[in-house]
Structure 1
C-alpha cells in the first residue's frame, strides 16, 4: 500500500458568546495535506515517502476566542519608502556624478568660460520638448499642476514636471508631437487663473520673457479664402507679434470662418485690433483681429493683472436688518 498526498480545504468553526448574549461565529479556512492510501497501479509512478506527511503529526491551528485574523505579509515584498528616506543621503559623495578639474581661461585677469556645442548637446536634447508653464497671480503646488495635466492633457502621455523658485514650471513632454498638441489647445485655466505656456529655448528668461511677452491665440474672422496660404497668414500674424503655430483646422482648412494663430504678444503694448492688407491685385482691405484672451496691463504702475485706468464700479452694500 502506498501513501498519496492529498490537498483539501479545512473549515474550522469557532463559536464565541459576546456580551449581551450575542453569539459570534468565526470561520477559518486552512489548506491541509494528508496521506491517502492507494493501491499500486502498474505503469503509474509514485511519490517518494519523504514528500508525504503523516496526518496524525499535522498541527492544525485553531482560532481562540477573541483572537483576530492577521493579514499574511510576505517577507520579500518591498515596502514603499517615505519621501524623507528617498532623499536621505542626497549629498552623499557616492550618489552624485564624478567630476574633474578643467582649467579656466583668464582674459584681463578675469576668468572666461567657453562652452562648446559638445558641452550642451545632451542637455539640449533632454529639454528640447519642454514647455514653460506659469499661472498669473497664482502660487501653484506640484500636486495642483499634476492634477491639472492629468485632467486637461489626457490626450498625451503624462509629462515630467519641474519647478523653479522664480514661480514657473517646466513641463517636459515625451516627444515633439505631444508638445505641439498641448500648445495647439487652450487657453488653459487653473483655479480660474490663466495659464501661460511658451516653448522653452536657451534664450528664455523668466523676468524678461514670461512677464512681458505671452503666447496668445488670435483669430482672423472671415479671412478671404485667397489669403489662407501659409505666407499670407504669417505676414498678418507677424503684425501682432511672433507667430508660433496655427491650429489643425487652419492648417488643413477645415473651418474657414476664421483662421487661428498662436502668437507671442508683447502685452505692454496697445493691442492691435485691425490690420490693412493690400492683396495681389492691389485691392486694399481691413482685416479684423480678435484675441481669445488677453491679460490687462496698467500703463501707470506697469503691472500685469489690472489696469489703473479702469474705474471700478462700486457694488451695492448689504445692510443687515
Structure 2
C-alpha cells in the first residue's frame, strides 16, 4: 500500500491558501458555471474580490480575498441564483468532503427568548445542537451586541425535523421555550432523506397507472 506522509508545514501552507473560503452547493438544481460568476459578482462585488472553484458533485469553493469579504457574504444571506438556493458554510481545515445526495445542509437559524445565563458560546451551541450540528455564529451574536435573539448556522440533517420550539429547563426547574425561526427551509424528500429534491418531485416515487382492469400503483 502506497502512502504519502504530508509534513505539517505543507498542511499549514495549504490551509492558509483557503482560510477565507466558503463551501457551497445549489439545492435542487444545477447552475451553469459560466453564468455563476456574473450573477454572484453583481451580488457580492461590494464586499470585495472572490474567485469560484468547482469541485465534484456540484460543490463550489468561493475563495475570498479577506475574512471581511467572507463574513459579509456569509452574514448577508441567504443567497440564490435564479431562484435556486445557495447553501453556504465556512471552509475548515480537515473538513470532510461533501458528497452528492445532500443529506445535510447548512441553515441559518434565529433563536429567541433565550435566558441570559445561556448567552455563552457553549450555552448557545448546546441549544442549537438540538437542531443539528452548530457551525458558527454571526458577529453580532458572538459579540453579544444584540441579545434579543441569536443567529447560528446549523448543519441540518434531512432525516430530522425543523422544530419551531426548543424546550429547556433552568436551574430552578422552570421550563423555557426558545423559539426558532429559519432563514430558509430546504425541500426535503421523505422517501430518500435528501435535500436536493422534494417528496413530490421524487424520481423514485410510485405512480398510479390506469389499465383496462382499473387502477393500480406500480413503481417507475
Q: What's the TM-score bracket when you normalise by the shorter of the two chains?
A: 0.7 to 0.9
Specify the SS of the correspondent of 1:115.
coil
RMSD value, Cα: 2.6
Give the superposition deviation at 1:253. 4.4
2:31 aligned with 1:173, yes or no? no
**Cα distance in structure 1, aligned partners of 2:57 and 2:201:** 29
**What are the superposed Cα offsets for residues 57-93 of structure 1, whole Å, 9 maximum, x if unpaired?**
xxxxxxxxxxxxxxxxxxxxxxxxxxxxxxxxxxxxx
2:55 aligned with 1:164, yes or no? yes
1:1-321 pair list within 5 angstroms: 110-201=1-92, 202-207=94-99, 211-304=102-195, 305-308=197-200
Give the superposition deviation at 1:135. 1.0
The aligned residue for residue 215 of structure 2 is none
**Cα distance in structure 2, aligned partners of 1:138 and 1:174:** 28
Contact kept in structure 2, 1:184 and 1:245, CA below 8 Å: no
Give the superposition deviation at 1:259. 2.1
Contact kept in structure 1, 2:103 and 2:194, CA below 8 Å: no
Give the superposition deviation at 1:118. 2.9
Specify the SS of the correspondent of 2:69.
helix
Change (3 A) 1:247 1:122: closer
Contact kept in structure 1, 2:128 and 2:154, CA below 8 Å: yes
Work out which structure has the larger RCO, using CA pairs closer than 8 Å and 6 or more positions apart in sequence. 2
Structure 2: 5+ residue runs without aligned partners? 203-220
**What are the superposed Cα offsets for residues 162-197 of structure 1, whole Å, 9 maximum, x if unpaired?**
122432221111122322222222111110011011
Change (3 A) 1:249 1:199: closer
Specify the SS of the correspondent of 2:99.
helix
Give the superposition deviation at 1:271. 2.4
Give the superposition deviation at 1:256. 4.5
Structure 1: 5+ residue runs without aligned partners? 1-109, 311-321
Give the superposition deviation at 1:308. 4.3
Change (3 A) 1:212 1:303: closer
Contact kept in structure 2, 1:161 and 1:171, CA below 8 Å: yes
Specify the SS of the correspondent of 1:206.
coil
TM-score by length of 1: 0.55
TM-score by length of 2: 0.78
